[in-house]
Amino acid sequence: MLKEAFTTSTGSFTLNEFKKIFNDLYNLRVVTFTFKEAFISAFFTLIVGLPGAYIISHYKFKGKSFLVSLTTVPFILPSLLVALGFIILFGDNGFLNKFLMDVFHFKQPFHILYSFAAIILVHTFYNFPVVLRIIGAAWAGVSDKYEFAAKSLGAKPLEVFFKVTVPLLLPAIISSFSLVFLFCFLSFSIILIIGGARFATIEVSIYTYYNMFSDFKMGSALATFQALFSLLVIYTYLKVSDIVKTGDIEKSIAPAPSILSNKKTLFFSLIYLGLIFFLIIAPILVVIVYAFLDPFSSKFTLENFAKLFGTDYTYLLGTSFLRVILNSFAFALFTLLLSNLFALLGSYGLKTNFKGKNLFVSILMLPLAISPITIALSFIIFFRSPINLMNTPIPILIAHTLLAFPFSLRALLPAVQSTSDSFVFASRSLGYSRVKSFFAVDLNLFKNVLITSSIFSFAISFGEFGATFMLYMPRFTTIPIALYRFLSGRHYGEASALGSIFAVINIISFILIEKFHRGRENII
């Protein structure tokens, strides 16, 4: 892909494509829009997430750990599903507008979707759990002794906040901000669906260049530019998140009070927590509810599901619905196997110390920074020749594995590294070969992290849209692709039916992660 970006059609080196990024008015608009959109989204996400981080780190209440684990949901929740949920809630024919028109007799629906604000809204919703999680954990780990020390030196509450609390949380703030920024920077399906035709991020326009104009060169140049910048952000994130982690949990002077102890805090917390719960659960919930409603009469029906499993849409999907489901499961299972295998190998390889190990770990985390569309584009270029593999499922499979790998590695690496060699030595001294020991000892030691890693990689493959969308042929249609087809064809009933199947699988994933990953280090 780099080659495509830096060469002319005759093969000589050129920077022309890069110059075009900044000379071409359309490209320039795309780039500035992407930065603006990502920055504003990350900023709002931070503002929305901070009070929540404060609440979960400073108060005790029932169901807190459940709420914290709910913040994993956006990581495994496909953005398509979120977009669908927002359309059903806020669309012109959505629940909100229907409610307003029915109850208050509004003549015109509110046009919420297909605007800049809508993009920010969805991004904020989708990502604020990241802020909640990262800053909340950091805040809980910071002892209040620093704040008390400042007070004993005469600092007033606001001075304490800005001169002590904020500096102490700065690594967490930077790390969550950069992560959210990155997610929004690389946003694809949300922009595609919620943004409408007027808005395009770099990611979307790479796709457009490829899909509409078959322009590999401009796409590659944009992708390279995007990847360089993302790398910078992910490097910042990884660097800073190391600092966040080394801050060990210290004992607090004043024990965390119950949330019930103060009426005012209780009131605001309840409103806020209610909102969080609503925002995380609502999009999934409305999709499931909508799936059982007739799009026109709003009465209970199973019609949507029936149509889904029928043959009505074979023309739209290019293949049978059953095949779509099979495809999704097959890709997800193979991704799970490959991703775990590579992550295990990587973790064992990284057990020994060598020069440049940190850099190497960063490189292994690269797929976090390189967008699905970029991966897909480079695969298209790479797998075209000498043998054309594009009509096999291999490129999709590799893309999914690449995207899931960083999550698996982040789950497995700490566990493998922190486990003493003595277990294996013990088993070998008892007569097991290294290979036998691996199955008898290692696999059991890492059982829980392997399960977590499996669920994550499964969920990522299962929900992956961008890369698959660029690489697929009708035969390989997956559930997200089918969902997109229904969405762009405005078949919202069928989309919801499919979305609710999707949501159920995600809820199961969430429950499984909950069960096996409780109290462990965060994967992201």
Q: Where do contacts with another protein occur on this chain (CB under 8 A)?
A: 143, 145-146, 148-156, 159-160, 163-164, 167-168, 170, 250, 253-254
Select 101 or 170, whichever has its Cβ closest to another protein.
170
Provide the CA 102 distance to its chain's centre, in angstroms.
36
Select 111 or 163, whichever has its Cβ closest to another protein.
163
Cβ neighbours, 10 Å, residue 171: 21
- Shortest CB 269 distance to another protein, Å: 21
Enter the DSSP assignment of 523. Answer: -
- Letter for the amino acid at 194? I
Helix (H, G, I), strand (E, B) or coil at 473: coil
- Shortest CB 332 distance to another protein, Å: 44
- Shortest CB 162 distance to another protein, Å: 11
Q: Please classify residue 367 by burial: count the beta carbons closer than 10 Å to its beta carbon, then call 0-12 exposed, 13-18 middle and 19+ buried.
A: buried
DSSP string, 230-259: HHHHHHHHHHHHHHHHHS-----SSPPPBG
Best CA proximity match to 203, nearest among 217, 222, 221? 222
Select 164 or 364, whichever has its Cβ closest to another protein.
164
First-to-last alpha carbon distance for the chain, in angstroms, is: 28
Enter the DSSP assignment of 107. Answer: S
Select 37 or 147, whichever has its Cβ closest to another protein.
147
Select 15 or 260, whichever has its Cβ closest to another protein.
260
For 16, 23, 262, 373, the CA distances from 4, given in Å and listed in that order, are 12, 19, 62, 15
- Max Cα distance, the chain (Å): 80
- Shortest CB 246 distance to another protein, Å: 10
Select 167 or 274, whichever has its Cβ closest to another protein.
167
What are 142's two structure tokens?
């910071």
For 8, 9, 366, the CA distances from 228, given in Å and listed in that order, are 21, 23, 11
- Shortest CB 155 distance to another protein, Å: 6
- Shortest CB 161 distance to another protein, Å: 13
Helix (H, G, I), strand (E, B) or coil at 311: coil
What are 4's two structure tokens?
């495509």
Select 168 or 487, whichever has its Cβ closest to another protein.
168
Q: Please classify residue 153 by burial: count the beta carbons closer than 10 Å to its beta carbon, then call 0-12 exposed, 13-18 middle and 19+ buried.
A: exposed
Select 28 or 153, whichever has its Cβ closest to another protein.
153
Cβ neighbours, 10 Å, residue 116: 14
Best CA proximity match to 449, nearest among 484, 418, 470? 418
Select 15 or 254, whichever has its Cβ closest to another protein.
254
- Shortest CB 146 distance to another protein, Å: 5
* CA dist., res. 5 & res. 475, Å (int): 30
Select 63 or 257, whichever has its Cβ closest to another protein.
257
Select 35 or 146, whichever has its Cβ closest to another protein.
146
The single residue listed with the structure tokens 């999680």 is 133
Best CA proximity match to 507, nearest among 469, 472, 455, 470? 455
- Shortest CB 418 distance to another protein, Å: 23
- Shortest CB 177 distance to another protein, Å: 17
- Shortest CB 144 distance to another protein, Å: 8
What are 499's two structure tokens?
């979305």
- Shortest CB 253 distance to another protein, Å: 5
